[in-house]
Structure 1
């Protein structure tokens, strides 16, 4: 069977091949560029990823704002599938409460067939109020909807049925073993473990809290699944340059990204904590009130590896050690980076950092 047709039912077999390193796509437009230019940049980055030695391509789901214009990650990944042969294709994440679960299961199934089983499903329950309002979905129901839809979709890829109907084409392979869910609030750990999903970590907390979340998730996974949990996937932003001053300029763009994150998610709004299922975010609002928005944005940016290639390699290794990560998703376009800067950022990481993290890959230069 050709590699492009191999059904990839386990994305955690990194012990032989080394770290699994994917490339992530946010489709961010903060500076008034045309949306078309932003999309062409992300398409070019995805087009280059396989040849540069990345294992996978990942796309987020967001709506209604320049914060991220990736409204249909499965559609984007279908385009990537048609232009690649081996690279895996991940959603980072598909937000389940915003979808009809039967229709979403069909879309997932079709992409899995088109790509020869290269899909990795990342799931989430959503966080931005305006996105819930835009879809007419009550935000206070997100946890309940996520729990139900996640179980229904994962079960469907084993039974072939969802919501009383049959999935056709029939599922190519189960999703369990290649499914992740984003985890920020502590209560998410039990949900992830119960449905059998791996943990996708966006670095947005002090390290001791992130480590505690991983430990809590691992305990819950053993309890619910009776086996060791899959290793987490960690999302990082790429601010690597041989010239440390230039690396500092890239770091400032990460700060710009996090300023936009505070605005998009309403992190400074204490009313977030009054929405059932989002009580944790009251802590963030209190931190911003105490320390200021800029301090919080820079705190988040400082969690990312940045600097010279050697510094980035060391910081990534420390991130992997702290989280017991099995893989990374590396984002190269963010903030106000131009198309040229984003493409150079991706290629520089592939040339200077990727070989040190995964010595078995041939990297095109």
Structure 2
């Protein structure tokens, strides 16, 4: 089982931005020393919700400080980025990190970010689908060209030339039925965020696996789950930190994506976000809804975390983890503590497991 960290760059610490950004990014270097397999970085813009506008650039610094950990933007938001430039940046960083780079791609969901880039949220599905093919073909062939509805690019050779790229190194955020279908059709590993009861996600997960096998005559790869994680030896500290820091980050999530706004109901491709809004409304607002959100993530003592993982695995089958340990303004000494507890107590059990036969 592959286990990584997911850096979310949520600055609720009250630190100056430069100091915060440096401290958050250094977590990836420590993760390699602790034995994590992946360092994954978000792309978000303009607010304290998540302040990492260029994960590929940040990963270039991490690449220079590490030797073995795999690197992944999770994810580059395609409607905000020119496909030609994405291919160039990916090829350049992959050359420097000697093939450790994996490309995570997403389409975004926050109106406030789309508006600043002058892009319509309603267009994200079509833009992503078109851009992803251009980028993947560009990485596989070294040539970028396009003549579509959203992107037009004359035939252009990429230098440095991409090497060793195929779709096994590409990951797609898949948080809706439509995204799951596209990921399966394109032959991509899927990435899902923990957002509640996993049984409700099983129809999408099963449809992804069925379509993948039908289209590609092989089993789908294990999908990746991004968890917000609280992991301490002391049960009382788990409870205290969940109520204090997990609640704070969930409020940020709800506000950033406007879960309580009805606009998602007008966008079928964002069905999961409409569901989150309905859940919040039913419980009196996002400040109350976080308890269901907690239930979907891996939170507890090391023993509790592993038991929860086994319950989840029995439901969803094989999966991989990228864990976000830093959120809600949690002090960095506590972030490091729970990373170390998880790495020492839980990760060896995860890595020792035998895969489930597909």
TM-score (norm 2): 0.91
Q: Could you tell me which residue of structure 1 aligns to residue 265 of structure 2? A: 273
Q: Could you tell me which residue of structure 1 aligns to residue 46 of structure 2? A: 64
Q: After TM superposition, give the deviation of residue 307 of structure 1 in Å.
A: 1.6
What is the alpha-carbon distance in structure 2 between the residues aligned to residue 307 and residue 280 of structure 1?
Answer: 26
Q: Could you tell me which residue of structure 2 aligns to residue 51 of structure 1? A: 33
Q: After TM superposition, give the deviation of residue 50 of structure 1 in Å.
A: 0.9
- Structure 2 SS opposite 1:267: coil
Cα distance per residue 1:96-119 (max 9 Å; x no partner): 110000011100111111111111
The unaligned stretches of length 5 or more in structure 1 are 1-18, 361-365
Q: Could you tell me which residue of structure 2 aligns to residue 73 of structure 1? A: 55
Q: Could you tell me which residue of structure 2 aligns to residue 302 of structure 1? A: 295
Q: Could you tell me which residue of structure 2 aligns to residue 185 of structure 1? A: 176
Q: Does the C-alpha gap of structure 1 residues 104 and 241 become closer, same or farther in structure 2, counting only changes over 3 Å?
A: same
TM-score (norm 1): 0.90
- What is the aligned-residue RMSD (CA, Å)? 1.6
What is the alpha-carbon distance in structure 2 between the residues aligned to residue 276 and residue 313 of structure 1?
Answer: 35
Q: After TM superposition, give the deviation of residue 224 of structure 1 in Å.
A: 2.2
- Structure 1 SS opposite 2:269: coil
What is the alpha-carbon distance in structure 2 between the residues aligned to residue 30 and residue 273 of structure 1?
Answer: 30
Q: Could you tell me which residue of structure 2 aligns to residue 167 of structure 1? A: 158
Q: After TM superposition, give the deviation of residue 266 of structure 1 in Å.
A: 0.6
Which range is displaced more, 276-285 or 350-359?
276-285
Cα distance per residue 1:229-274 (max 9 Å; x no partner): 1110111122111110011122221222111111000111012222
Q: Does the C-alpha gap of structure 1 residues 75 and 320 become closer, same or farther in structure 2, counting only changes over 3 Å?
A: farther
Q: State whether residues 140 and 276 of structure 1, in contact with CA within 8 Å, keep that contact through their aligned partners in structure 2.
A: no
The unaligned stretches of length 5 or more in structure 2 are 146-154, 354-358
What is the alpha-carbon distance in structure 2 between the residues aligned to residue 50 and residue 280 of structure 1?
Answer: 33
What is the alpha-carbon distance in structure 1 between the residues aligned to residue 211 and residue 288 of structure 2?
Answer: 34
- Which among 314, 324, 342 is matched to residue 321 of structure 1? 314
Find out whether 1:291 has 2:291 as its counterpart: no
Q: State whether residues 143 and 277 of structure 1, in contact with CA within 8 Å, keep that contact through their aligned partners in structure 2.
A: yes
Q: State whether residues 191 and 223 of structure 2, in contact with CA within 8 Å, keep that contact through their aligned partners in structure 1.
A: yes
- Structure 1 SS opposite 2:270: coil
